[in-house]
Amino acid sequence: EVRLVESGGGLVQPGGSLTLSCAASGFTFSSYWMHWVRQTPGKGLEWVSRINVDGSGTNYADSVKGRFTISRDNAKNTLYLQMSSLRDEDSAVYYCARLSWDDVWGQGTTVTVSS
């Protein structure tokens, strides 16, 4: 079964840091670009970042550039999102996703930034 499972979400204070993980299974992880997409409760989807197959190329939304870092470990079939200088507006459900013609999404992990 093709699966993505996120973890690492939680409550963090403004200015704090958090690292999300996404464990992939059931497909050749190292063959796909991977993405992080977030969704604020009751609001729409916002693309956050993507990484190429070997980790040498990344892109970020302007809203997180300089604060978030996407990375991957193909040996562990795991995608990461390091988040720092967190702001209230970063509170959201974060999805790990394979955005391709045969897309796969995780179930999401919730990040709450609050004092």
- On whether the CB atoms of residues 111 and 96 are closer than 8 A, the answer is no
**β pairing state of 10-12 and 109-113:** parallel
CA 92 to chain centre: 11
Residue 27 near other proteins by CB under 8 A: no
Question: Among the candidate windows 19-27, 38-46, 67-75, 81-89, which touches other proteins by CB under 8 A?
Answer: 38-46
Nearer to other proteins, 14 or 105 (CB): 105
Q: Return the residue of 11, 25, 45, 85 that touches other proteins, per CB under 8 A.
A: 45
Q: Is 70 exposed, middle or buried (0-12, 13-18, 19+ CB in 10 A)?
A: buried
Where does this chain bind other proteins (CB under 8 A)?
35, 37, 44-47, 50, 59-62, 95, 97, 99-103, 105-108
